[in-house]
Amino acid sequence: MLPTKKFVSMLCVSLALLGGSFTTAQAARVKAQAAAPLSPQAKAALDKEFDAMIGNSGTKVPGLGVVVYKDGQKVYSRFAGRRKISSNPAWNRPVTPDTRFWGASISKEFTGYSIMQLVGQNKLKLDGDAGTYLGFKLRNPNYPNTPITVRMLLSHTSSIRDGNEAYSLPPFYRLQSYFTPGYEFWDGGSHFAPAGQAPGAYFDYCNLNYGLLATIIEKVSGQRFDLYQKSHILKDLDMQADYVPANLGKAQFANLGTPYRHRDGAWVAQTDDFQGKQPPANCIRAHYPLVSSPMTWFNLKRYKPGNNATIFAPQGGLRVSYNELEHTLQMLLNQGRYNGKQVVKPELLQQMLTPQWRYNAATKNGDNYGGSIEAYGLSLYPLYGNGTSRPCKDYAIDLWGHTGEAYGMMTGIFMRPGTRDGFVYMLNGTAIDESSAAAGGKYSGNTIWEEQVMDKVCRNFFAPAK
């Protein structure tokens, strides 16, 4: 359905709130591009393109799901392949809209939304010293007089690094062990950037930033991170997602899918392969304490909030369904509102959608990860249609959101600035290693899988009207 003049007028106002001037000419282009739903023939052709991504070799994946919104309404979805792979027909289960997967780095968004909610309640300050909230001194030894702020953690400009082995510790270790000389995991200061990469100036994507943010949430709220998320941001978005699979509801656990990588001619489960047996409540698996060590079960009953929330994988461990990601997309497309509730204040969402760092090729002021990250906001970042992060091969289409890559999962939530268009996707495996040359994109710094999904969506739904 084409937008009315009233809709276009409202859209101009909403975009001004989201930090961009939106001219009459741009509004006209949005109206012109408000395409009708795909014809049955075009939909069948697109379904076939996505189905062709399913397979067991090359750049194929075991399962996928994609949902597209246009002008605030769902206009397309496709689910194909398997969320669980087994020789037992009862366990060889398809991907469906309510399939729940390890979200990978789109989980960072939800940590970020909680931080922004606390900022909106005046319980946190974006430019407040993170160490003050954490209860221990957090200073890069190379920059002892520069506070590391909440904003820097959100934008990966904190000078914190993931270190040599891990960015999470078991629950009975204190997080300051990473940052304090003489503590168990100081490791020669490997969790701090070297001189020349100053806090606030240099970008380096770091998962540990979000472990620190999650611990700040615990310190401020007095509540365990996963429980706080469930009673606040996840509740606000009507999500039954969880960071602890053992605590999922019975029906939600039954829908939990598995990430895979292809090894020696077969798909091999990487995590969340519970064989239908839900772990005891409040039990969680983690490395003890290094990535190279086996996964170990821990009981959270004696966990003390505020010590070390890395155990919950706030950077990547949210088990989330496609339906729930739609709720999140709706919130992004509606100025922070979902189902009539203001989840994130518009002015704070605007800050999330404002670059805090931009890559400068002359000064090399950060790692742009092969061109896939040209700028970063607060838990969200842009893909520039005319840049090295371009999501669409033949059209200059800008997006804002976040990708995720972990355990073979490829995930994403994206909106198109200046419109109420967006999409979500999750793929649950890669037949080749993500770090191999063959996994690289053909026209951008993104992976081949990200290109395949984003180009299909942008070309069919967001391309300029002919």
What totals of helices (H) and strands (E) does the chain contain, helices first?
Answer: 13, 16
DSSP of 351-374: HHTS-SEE--TTTT-B--GGGT-S
Residue 253 placed within a domain: no
Q: What is the pLDDT of residue 28?
A: 44
The residue range of the domain holding 25 is 1-32
* Token pair in block for residue 104: 């990978």
Residue 1 placed within a domain: yes
What is d(CA 319, CA 274) in angstroms, rounded to the nearest whole number? 14
* Token pair in block for residue 416: 């198109």
- Over its C-alpha atoms, the chain yields an Rg (Å, rounded) of 21
What is d(CA 421, CA 419) in angstroms, rounded to the nearest whole number? 5
% of the chain with per-residue pLDDT over 70: 91
pLDDT tens column, 276-292: 899 999 999 876 656 66
Residue 229 placed within a domain: no
Q: How many angstroms separate the Cα of 297 from the Cα of each of 31, 57, 309, 398?
A: 54, 33, 16, 43
Q: What is the pLDDT of residue 285?
A: 86
* Token pair in block for residue 193: 């950037």
**Token pair 């404002």 in the structure block, residue:** 354
Residue 219 placed within a domain: no
pTM of the model: 0.92
Q: What is the pLDDT of residue 419?
A: 96
Cβ neighbours of residue 28 closer than 8 Å, sequence gap 6 or more: none
Residue 15 placed within a domain: yes
| 301/15: higher pLDDT | 301
Nearest to 124 by CA among 216, 229, 230, 212: 216
55's enclosing H/E stretch is none
β-pairing, 421-430 vs 63-70, is: antiparallel
Q: How many angstroms separate the Cα of 371 from the Cα of each of 25, 308, 315, 446, 447?
A: 30, 33, 21, 8, 11
Region 422-438: what's the mean pLDDT? Answer: 93
pLDDT tens column, 100-138: 999 999 999 999 999 999 999 999 999 999 999 999 999
Indicate whether 148 pLDDT > 60.
yes
**Token pair 């789109």 in the structure block, residue:** 106
| 184/18: higher pLDDT | 184
What is d(CA 440, CA 434) in angstroms, rounded to the nearest whole number? 8
Residue 25 placed within a domain: yes
Residue 10 placed within a domain: yes
% of the chain with per-residue pLDDT over 90: 81
What is d(CA 136, CA 19) in angstroms, rounded to the nearest whole number? 35
> What is the number of other CB atoms lying within 10 angstroms of the CB of residue 183?
14
Residue 384 placed within a domain: no
pLDDT tens column, 253-270: 999 999 999 998 899 999
**Token pair 């003049």 in the structure block, residue:** 5
Environment class of 81 (CB within 10 Å of its CB; exposed 0-12, middle 13-18, buried 19+): buried
- How many distinct structural domains can be found in the chain? 1
Indicate whether 21 pLDDT > 50.
no
* Token pair in block for residue 358: 């931009």
> In the predicted model, what is the mean pLDDT of the chain?
91
